[in-house]
Structure formats: structure tokens, C-alpha cells
Amino acid sequence: MSSTEQQTAQPVPSVWTRPRRRKEQPALSQDQIVAAAVRLLDAEGIEALSMRKLGTEMGTAATSLYRHVANKDELIELVVDEVYGELELPEPGGPDGWREALAQCGHSLRDMVLRHPWVASVLGQVGLAYLGPNLIRMSDRLLTLTLSAGFPQREADLAVKAVISYVIGATTSEASYLSLLARSGKSEVEWLRSLLPAAEAALEDHPVVRDHASALRGQDPARMREENFEYGLQRVLDGLAVRLTRR
């Protein structure tokens, strides 16, 4: 067998492709490890995650964790799939209800990422996360939604990818901003107020942007972020609606 054939024969390292261990240590389970890892990630971010630190948080040795999770990459696959299990996925809406259903999925995905801002930084980085049961469930439901709307098979998949790409792209920057905000120890209003002098100085020679920023002053920043996301999502759905009309 050639070296190329040997490489092809070896599975991609992933928690979803290796054989499952039949017996687990009674005092510890994979579900407990994943739940503890999610709590650690939510509290301290992806930089804080290590098997040793997680073991310390759980009051056990890292070697005990390796009986259930082979390595950190597998753990990340598992926690990613775990938080995707939080998504609220409506039933297919058919030709008349597909748009509202996809919008609900988009908002549910955004809410999940903002609850777990670390997730945006690890998507696509390790293993075969898309083979996780919750990610498969999401893909299946979204594909069913677009097929029920009237898209043909291939374009239904592209429509799903367009929606997900927008949501992840828009939410990644928002999640990073909220993580920075959390580290500052200030509320969003306090943070923006503290930046005001520097912002006014930077915009002094840019009247268009300066006037735009002045018009927004005093508005609820959380509501503005929600409106910004909704505007972009609806424009993506507008484009998909045009495609359906043309067909």
C-alpha cells in the first residue's frame, strides 16, 4: 500500500469516528465532563481550557478525564455539539412559512453564540464537529425548511449555508465585543460612555460618520445590536425569496 493510500485509509481524528468505550468510570461520565467544560468555557473562555484545569475544577486528575475523552480536540468537538443542542428549531413552514422559520433559527443560533461566545472561535478548527448529533439535527431541520420552501436539492443546501454564514459572521464579531466588555467589568452603556472622548476626537475630521454617531447617541446599545442583526438577516432572506420567485 502506498503512503497516499495509507493516509487515505486512516480516519480523520474525531470523537465521532473512533469506537465508543463501552464501560465508563461510575464516578465520572462523559456528560459530566462536557457540562463542566462548558461552564469553564463560559466563565473563562477558550484560552483557559485544558484537561488539567478541567480536572482541577471537577476535583479529579486529568488522567481520569482521558478515560472518557481522548484529548482536548475531542473535548472541543463535544462541547460544540453540546451547545448546539440548545437551538430551538421550528417545524418546516412550507412555501408560506419558511421565511419566518428560518428567521427563528437564525435568532436562536445568534442567542446561543452570545451565551457561549467562545464557540465562534473554535468552529471548523477541530475534527469532524459536523458529525455531532445536535449539529446533524440542525442541518437536517434547516435543509427540510428550505426544501419545503420550494428550493431544489442543491440550492436548498446553498440557501442553508448562506443563512448560517451570515449568522456566524455577524455574531462572531458581536460575541468578541461582548467578551471584551465582560473583561472590562463595565456595563455596555458605561463602556461606550468611557470611549466617548476618544471617539469624538477621532471623528472630528469625518463629519458624515460623526453626525451618524451623534444621531445614535442615547439609544439602547443592546437593542441596536439586535436591530443590526435583524436587518442583515432579513436582507439575506429577501435574496432567497427572490430566488424562489424567479424559479
Domain end point (choices 27, 61, 84):
84
Q: What is d(CA 39, CA 143) in angstroms, rounded to the nearest whole number?
A: 31
Reported as a single tens digit per residue, the pLDDT across 11-31 is 677 887 877 665 554 578 999
Q: What is d(CA 48, CA 71) in angstroms, rounded to the nearest whole number?
A: 15
Contact criterion met (CB below 8 Å) for 64 and 25:
yes
Which among 113, 118, 163 has a CA at the least distance from the CA of 141? Answer: 163
Question: Is the pLDDT confidence value at 177 over 70?
Answer: yes
List of residues 6+ apart from 108 with CB closer than 8 A: 86, 87, 88, 89
Instruction: Evaluate whether residue 23 is within a structural domain.
Output: yes
Instruction: Evaluate whether residue 125 is within a structural domain.
Output: yes
Q: What is d(CA 118, CA 62) in angstroms, rounded to the nearest whole number?
A: 22
Together in a domain, 77 and 12: yes
Question: Is the pLDDT confidence value at 137 over 90?
Answer: yes
Reported as a single tens digit per residue, the pLDDT across 197-231 is 898 889 888 989 888 888 888 889 999 999 999 99
Which among 87, 88, 97 has a CA at the least distance from the CA of 148? Answer: 97
Domain containing residue 98? 94-246
Which is more confidently placed, 100 or 15? 100
Q: What is the CA radius of gyration of the chain?
A: 22
Domain end point (choices 84, 115, 147):
84
Together in a domain, 145 and 63: no
Number of domains in the chain: 2
Together in a domain, 58 and 145: no
Together in a domain, 18 and 71: yes
State the DSSP string of 48-70: G--HHHHHHHHTS-HHHHTTT-S
Contact criterion met (CB below 8 Å) for 127 and 79:
no
Q: What is d(CA 9, CA 189) in angstroms, rounded to the nearest whole number?
A: 55
Domain end point (choices 57, 84, 111):
84
